[in-house]
Every structure is written in C-alpha cells, then in structure tokens.
Amino acid sequence: MVEKVCNKMESTEIISFLPYQKPFLFVDEITEISENGVVGNYRFKKNEYFYEGHFKENPITPGVILTETMAQIGVVCLGIFLAKDEISSKRNLQIALTSSQMDFFLPVFPDEKVSVISEKQYFRFNKLKCQVKMLNEKNELVCRGSISGMIIAK
C-alpha cells in the first residue's frame, strides 16, 4: 500500500521529469508516493483534442488515453521516484511501455477527474511492473490492470 503523502513541491518535481508535454501530459498531481506505489490524479478538460471525434456528439475518453494516464502516473512517475538518484542529474528520459493488460468498466467523460492508484509488483534492472486501477470522483472503479515499462536516464 502507498503510505507517504507527497507534498506539492515533490509532486511538481516528479512531474517536471516526465518526458511529456501538453496535449499528451495526463498528470495533474501526485498525492502519495512511496517505494511501494503512487497515487495521482488528472482532470480531463472539455477541450481535449481527442473528444472532437470520439464520439460524435457524445464525447468519451478513449481507453487508450485512460491506459496512457495510468501508465504516466502509475509507472513513469513511480519509476522516476524509485530511480531518483540516477535521474536527478539527467533530464533526458527514455520510456518504453513493455506490456499492459486492462479491463474497462465505466466511461470517463469530459471534465471528469480520475485518480490512479498503482502498487509496485517489482522493480529490477530498470523494469517496473505495477498493478494499477483508476477511480472516478464517485470512487467507482473505471478500469484496472497491470502495466510494465522501462525507464532509462541518459
């Protein structure tokens, strides 16, 4: 379980190391982080680029974007925290998602805030595997699964 509450400065620093930028940054805040996992959130804005065509007159967040949000918060942010000594002097990160398996239960609509909870399964040889889940503001399960990835600082 995640134990350590993350303060605003720590959250901002971790997010600053992410190799993403708008419109493909899906992390607003990290609220908890420890050696065992991370909790973070993101609010899907009404004007996100993917809502224009997914779906006509009934915008729903694509599953691939939900998976990406869970990967950014649940694997990349946690990986940055776990490898902070190696990463702290370097800003050029390479990220490789090596596998994901997701089950989807509820849609996410524009202007919805989601929380991602990730628990580390293992971290070795710069490969991180996590069990992740996404909850909506009503604390309902949106999706869950496992994501693995590699983080390399250059």
Confidence band, pLDDT 50/70/90 cuts, at residue 125: confident
Confidence band, pLDDT 50/70/90 cuts, at residue 2: low
Residue 131 has pLDDT above 70, yes or no: yes
Predicted confidence at residue 6, as pLDDT, reads: 75
- Token pair in block for residue 125: 């040889």
Whether 2 maps to a domain, the answer reads no
State how many domains the chain has.
1
> Nearest Cα to 97, choosing from 150, 50, 135?
150
Residue carrying the six token digits 């990463």: 87
Predicted confidence at residue 117, as pLDDT, reads: 98
Predicted confidence at residue 1, as pLDDT, reads: 62
Whether 91 maps to a domain, the answer reads yes
State which residues form the domain around 108: 8-153
Whether 131 maps to a domain, the answer reads yes
Rounded to two decimals, the pTM is: 0.92
Whether 111 maps to a domain, the answer reads yes
Q: Does the active-site annotation cover 54?
A: yes
Predicted confidence at residue 94, as pLDDT, reads: 72
Whether 83 maps to a domain, the answer reads yes
> Nearest Cα to 142, choosing from 74, 50, 67?
67
Of 31, 32, 34, 54, catalytic: 54
What are the pLDDT digits (tens) for 104-115?
Answer: 999 999 999 999
Q: What is the domain-level CATH number for residue 122?
A: 3.10.129.10
- Token pair in block for residue 67: 């998976």
Q: Rg for the chain (alpha carbons), in Å?
A: 15
* Residue 61 to residue 54: CA distance in whole angstroms: 7
What are the pLDDT digits (tens) for 41-100?
Answer: 999 999 999 999 888 889 999 999 999 999 999 999 999 898 876 766 555 667 777 778
